[in-house]
Chains A and B, each alone.
Chain A
């Protein structure tokens, strides 16, 4: 709770005299503490806003929740982008993992977030990206021609195809 300690410490410095000098006092000002609770809980309803001990408990709990949730926010968003991208890839009969790795290999540096946004807002651009990956890997000789099935099909096991090709070439 980084910012909570900051908020608490803020009340320990009081302004004295005309000189702009902050002096540390032994006890925090009672009124200042209450004022802080009112600033955070201005939108609370009923006794949560009017009573000190209820309000400050609720405020502390709220700050604790926000700390916890900001920590896992990026993780949750990553998961969401991954699900979206998987859906978008499935629509064009492409495997998400293969798509991302080959994009990186061909030096198209787009992350999951921007790819997922492209799939929603500029779907044709996303389609061309998928087609590019398909054609490029065909040229290299990584991929089977059966890829590119319509929606509703599972993405074909490209890795299996690769394995098959490598097995046949070695034997």
Chain B
């Protein structure tokens, strides 16, 4: 049937997804991204057929880690030569390359088979919001974030802060600790 190939073009079409990694946990979002990269969000999924989609991730520079993981998480590397073992903490790796943390998270969450390299090639990581036009032009849908992006105090207007309901007043003799600005410190020393 001549019509069958057209049906196949429709069913096997690859869509492009956008994901905003701002203040998102890289490990939990890697699990979600893998679902789209492998094609597990499609009812016609099969582990042997390559039905995964493209995912464009922006703001990888601003990923958030729980607790003390920036300092404690170790990324190990081995050149397989004598003395070739090395390890770097998460914050060091992140400083070297802002996309590396999320790349490694997705790499380890992806299936450990021969499809992994092709899956990784469909993951497009960008440290900031700007993405080349030929890539953002393909994007047709958005993956929802996995956690709430916290709103900083600076973004509230003075009126909003004033209007916010006060539950109690501090006593007059209460001392609120305020961190000194770094510039002042330098002047002192």
Contacts and interface: CB of A to CB of B under 8 A. Distances in A.
A87 interface: yes
Contacts of B46: 80
Interface residues of A, number: 17
Nearest to A89: B43
8 contacts: A80-B47, A83-B40, A84-B44, A87-B40, A120-B44, A151-B141, A152-B143, A154-B144
Contacts of A90: 41
Interface string B143-182: 1100000000000000000000000000000000000000
Interface of A: 80, 83-88, 90-91, 116, 119-120, 123, 151-154
A153 B44 CA distance: 19
Contacts of A83: 40, 45
Contact of B43 (A87, A152, A153, A154): A87
Range of interface residues on B (Cβ < 8 Å): 10 to 19
B72 interface: no
Main secondary structure of the interface of A (DSSP, over half): helix
Interface string B28-54: 000000000000111111110000000
Contacts of B42: 87
Residue from B40, B42, B43 with most neighbouring chain A CB atoms (10 Å): B43
B149 to A, nearest CB: 16
Contacts of B139: none
A119 B141 CA distance: 21
B142 A91 contact: no
Nearest to B44: A120
Given A86-B40, A154-B144, 13 more contacts: A80-B45, A80-B46, A83-B40, A83-B45, A84-B43, A87-B41, A87-B42, A87-B45, A91-B43, A123-B43, A152-B142, A152-B143, A152-B144
Q: Which 4 A-B pairs have the closest CB atoms?
A: A88-B43, A119-B43, A84-B43, A87-B41
